[in-house]
Amino acid sequence: MTEHTAAHWAPGSHILWRYRENGGPHPHICRPVTVVRDTGELLAVWLAPGTECVKPVIADGTPVHHEPLATRYTKPRAVRRDRWFGTGVLKLARPGQPWSVWLFWEPGWRFKNWYVNLEAPRTRWSDGVDSEDHFLDISVYPDRSWHWRDEDEFAQAQRVGLMAKGQARDVRAAGRAAVEEIEAWGEPFTAGWQHWRPDPAWRVPALPDDWDRTPAHVSS
């Protein structure tokens, strides 16, 4: 893993993009990514096809989204190593903002859509960034239309106690703020990121054995 020796990571550096389990301190999602840009205004990273990642599963091995919603967040879980299949994902995140924006393409680099992932503002540590997913998301399309996603999961997380009422209100408010930015149609939607392409010389980053280590130092 690339050593973080400066205030920002250089393009081409490999870092970890992790999400903590909801209601717990430990990471349960880990995706090695390549830094595209890292400034005081934006962190952009590339999740390459075929990257080895860690994801949560139901303890018996059932994929989380194959489990019925009623028991999806109450059955015991485990984590499993897997690959990121399909096309890669470009992730854009501004410091302190409670969401990140992901770009998806169809095969052949035909741009598909943006995806606003509502999440805790990321904390930075020596080898990456950590956050917590907040269930609720928004899909945004090139014709400037948009729609909410995973509202059923957002509601179920509240029913089973993974998200308190106050936090849920904050998440919904963050979603409304994101919608305001979508409807204003500024950056990142007008920044041309859909035309970006990864450097063909970049290698796919490796998943370290200690992917779930506790950071020695974190910052926002």
Backbone phi and psi for residue 155, each to the nearest 5 degrees, phi listed first: -70, -40
Name the token pair of 107: 């095969």
Residue 3's pLDDT is what? Answer: 35
Nearest Cα neighbor of 82 from 46, 45, 51 is 51
Would the CA dihedral through 148, 59, 168, 42 be positive or negative? negative
Q: Which CATH class is domain 14-197?
A: mainly beta
Residue 203's pLDDT is what? Answer: 97
pTM for the structure as a whole: 0.93
Residue 216's pLDDT is what? Answer: 67
182 in Cβ contact with 116 (< 8 Å): yes
Residue 5's pLDDT is what? Answer: 41
Spell out the domain ranges in the chain.
Answer: 14-197
| Tens-binned pLDDT, residue by residue, of the chain (220 aa) | 333 344 899 999 999 999 999 988 899 999 999 999 999 999 999 999 999 999 999 999 999 999 999 999 999 999 999 999 889 999 999 999 999 999 999 999 999 999 999 999 999 999 999 999 999 999 999 999 999 999 999 999 999 999 999 999 999 999 999 999 999 999 999 999 999 999 999 999 999 999 999 986 667 6
